[in-house]
Structure 1
Amino acid sequence: MAKQAEAERDKLAKIISAEGEFLSAQKLGDTADIIAAHPIALQLRNLQVLLEIAVSKTPP
């Protein structure tokens, strides 16, 4: 019984992981579509990342 329960947990974990990968791939595809339609979006995102890095490196 314990091995069967463990197998079921492993199966569920793999399903959840696969669903997460699928959603991630969908979001990346959506993002690529947005950037293709609006190339400036990539530049704006890069500037946002630089701002986040600058803020995180600022001493308190």
Structure 2
Amino acid sequence: MLAKFTGLKGPTFDDYISDLAVMFDMYPTKDDQQLHEVRKAMALIDDLAAVADKLPELPRKKDKR
């Protein structure tokens, strides 16, 4: 998530999904059951990313103070 460090832009939904995928990919598993649960979580993340790609991009409202 380069945007966090460079200050170029705010993080996007894709950045958050990517971070979540990396977190689960690096999750230490102790047994087959935990590995199964992590794989289920990764599949859900993939499904969420696929659905999000189909949604239209919404414009942000600018806060005018």
Shorter-chain TM-score bucket reads 0.3 to 0.5
Larger radius of gyration: 1
- Using the size of structure 2 for normalisation, the TM-score is 0.40
- Using the size of structure 1 for normalisation, the TM-score is 0.43
More helix by share: 1
